[in-house]
Homo-oligomer: A and B are copies of this chain.
Amino acid sequence: MGLNSEDVERLDDIVKRARPLHRGDFLFRESDRFRSLFVVKTGSVKTFAPSPEGGEQVLGFHLPGELIGLDAIDKDMHACSAKVLETSAICELPFARLEELTAAIPSLQHQMYRLLSKEIGQDTEMLLLLGKKNAEERLAAFLLSLSQRLHKRGLSPSDFYLSMSRHEIGNYLGLAVETVSRLFTRFQDDGLMRVDRKHIQLLDLLALESLVGGSSQNRRQQQQQT
């Protein structure tokens, strides 16, 4: 999009090719000096930040094609940690070199702004989810998000494996593990999906979408104003 083949080649030059990483490996840890952005080629990664007194907040799960580390530019230091969830291939993009390149190639600069902006937009959606949705809506939104992102990479949108634990899902969605587990059971009973351990099959995407929209009586905080 807006890059000619020569530009792509120059971008390609600065990418450090991926070595395979394994479950539990860190791409970086919170408070590490910021050097590079990372792109998931295959596999998956979770990012998380410590919360006061020992807990942690899962900030996101990152699937193939997704970029990690943008939040570190500001302080030139990583504000969260990134841990590999399953055997994965990850590319590294030294940021200093990327910055030079974006200054020289306007369309690439624009692309970079868009990526950063997009990340903000995604966080915003997540705020809405945590601020206004109930447990059922959150889990449905989570499943659909995975589905759509996998589909975008040419993978099945309705049949996939979860690389993260129920605990991590709950943490990410602001729910207890037990709630996540109960909802999986309920969704399965309702014929929306099939769950077998980590193996997920979404049977009724439309029904899931209507759940997210806010089916039930969430009259809560509908209006507001002055």
Contact = CB atoms under 8 A, between A and B. Distances in A.
Interface centre among A70, A71, A165, A213 (most CB of B within 10 A): A71
A143 B132 CA distance: 21
A3 interface: no
Given A73-B113, A132-B57, A214-B51, A127 B126 contact: yes
B132 A73 contact: no
A79 interface: yes
Stoichiometry, as copies per complex, reads 2
A220 interface: yes
A224 B165 CA distance: 9
A74 interface: yes
B73 A117 contact: yes
A224 B99 contact: no
Interface in A49-77: 49, 51-59, 70-75
Contact of A124 (B49, B114, B221): B49
- The 4 A-B pairs of least Cβ separation, nearest first, read A123-B123, A73-B117, A116-B116, A131-B174
Interface of A: 23-24, 49, 51-59, 70-75, 79-80, 99, 102-103, 106, 109-110, 112-121, 123-124, 126-128, 130-132, 165, 167-168, 170-174, 176, 212-214, 218, 220-226
10 contacts: A51-B214, A52-B212, A52-B213, A53-B222, A74-B115, A99-B113, A127-B127, A131-B174, A165-B226, A176-B221
